[in-house]
Structures are given as structure tokens and as C-alpha cells.
A = this chain, B = another copy of it.
């Protein structure tokens, strides 16, 4: 299996209420069984998850962080690591000030799995394009420096590949059993997006047919707080 990771160039700048389905359906780049990785930023913009903040106060988004959070895990200086109302553990509740206009902050989509499903249904219904959708965002990690893109919503793809019971290459049952497929795909797509280039959508082409299926990030990928050793 060979994979291609392809940026979609030339998409127009997204505004609130824009029709993302039409933009993607008409771009001419998408083929059936592509996996489309779409950055959270353009979903938040299209769904008008933008909030006015004081452009002259670099901390004016901080009350939003508390409002969007259900549990604070750590604070250090201005940094807050919290569990958001959507269930993600991340910095600053995923609220983003880059790639939005000065004086605005972009909140996470209300329900990124639903946003992904809508996009998938629209591309299928209006364009006959059967694709999987991943909504991605850029999160930090404990223990390791730097950020990677992960999935915050998905549709038409199995979030976790469960390999339990399959033999390893030597015929023994495998120790590693659950691969976070949608997170690996989000990271792969980020490689061609380039933070400064404004590429909001990338295509992963050539994926295993077994990857396509049901499930959602919220239900399948987020760890239940009671099973979590670091919350």
C-alpha cells in the first residue's frame, strides 16, 4: 500500500456561513475514497465560532478559556491545560488567535464529529463523492516538545484500528493492538499544510479499504476520564 499526501491549493479564504461542501466539491481535486483532512480553523470560521476580543489586550481571550473548559488540569503563568466541554485535553481550550483577524478568537467547533459528518454527507449527496473526513487541530503533548496535529472529529473512517487477536509477523498475538488511525492521518496531512502557507485541507489517497467505516472521535478516541492516569 502506497499513500499520497496532497495539499489542496487555491481554496478561497473562508468566511462565516461559507459553503464548504461546495468549495470542496467544486475544487476538482477530490476522488472517491480520498480521506480529506480539514483544519479546525476553517470549520470554526464557516460555522461562525468566532468571538470578538479586545485587540489591544493579549489576555482578553482568557475568560473564554475558562468558559469553554469543564476541568482545569494545570496552570503555569498564562498557560492553562484543561479539559474542554467537548472532552479534549489541550492548551487554552483550543482557542486560536492565529489565522483569524485581529480582535477575533476562534473557538473549537461545537461538535467536530457532526461537522465532519455533514461535510461527508454533503459531498456524497451533492457530488456523489464517497470520502472520509477528519477535522484536525494542533495540540501539544506532555513529555515531548513541539506540537502535532490530531483528530478532533471524523466521519466515514474508523478512529481506532483494533488489531486484537491478529497475529504478528511471527504468528504470535500482537501486543500493540489499537492504532489511533485518525490521529496518524491528521499528523501525516499536517506535513503538507505548512502552518504559514494557509493550506486548510489535504488529501490522503490510497488508504486501506479497511480504514473506512463507522465511529467518531468523541465516542471512540477520547479516553474515559476514569480510565485516565493523568487527569
A residues in contact (CB < 8 Å) with B: 1-7, 73-74, 76, 81, 88-89, 96-102, 138, 141-150, 159-161, 163, 166-170, 172-176, 178-181, 183-185, 187-188, 190-192, 194-198, 207-208, 220-223, 228-231
Contacts and interface: CB of A to CB of B under 8 A. Distances in A.
B150 A1 contact: no
Contacts of A89: 142-143
Contact of A76 (B81, B176, B191, B229): B229
13 contacts: A4-B5, A88-B143, A98-B172, A99-B169, A99-B172, A144-B183, A145-B222, A147-B179, A148-B180, A163-B195, A169-B197, A184-B187, A188-B191
Contacts of A188: 3, 5, 184, 187-188, 191
B175 A147 contact: no
Contact of A99 (B170, B187, B223, B228): B170
B81 A229 contact: yes
A231 B142 contact: yes
* 4 tightest A-B CB contacts, nearest first: A169-B198, A146-B180, A142-B230, A188-B188
Nearest to A90: B143
A221 B144 CA distance: 6
Contact of A174 (B4, B7, B146, B195): B195
Given A2-B5, A179-B190, A145 B221 contact: yes
Given A179-B147, A188-B184, A163 B196 contact: yes
Given A76-B229, A96-B175, A167 B184 contact: no
A98 B168 contact: yes
Contact of A170 (B101, B148, B161): B101
Contacts of A147: 176, 178-180
A209 to B, nearest CB: 13
B148 A183 contact: yes
Nearest to A211: B191
A192 B178 CA distance: 15
A195 to B, nearest CB: 5
A42 B57 CA distance: 53
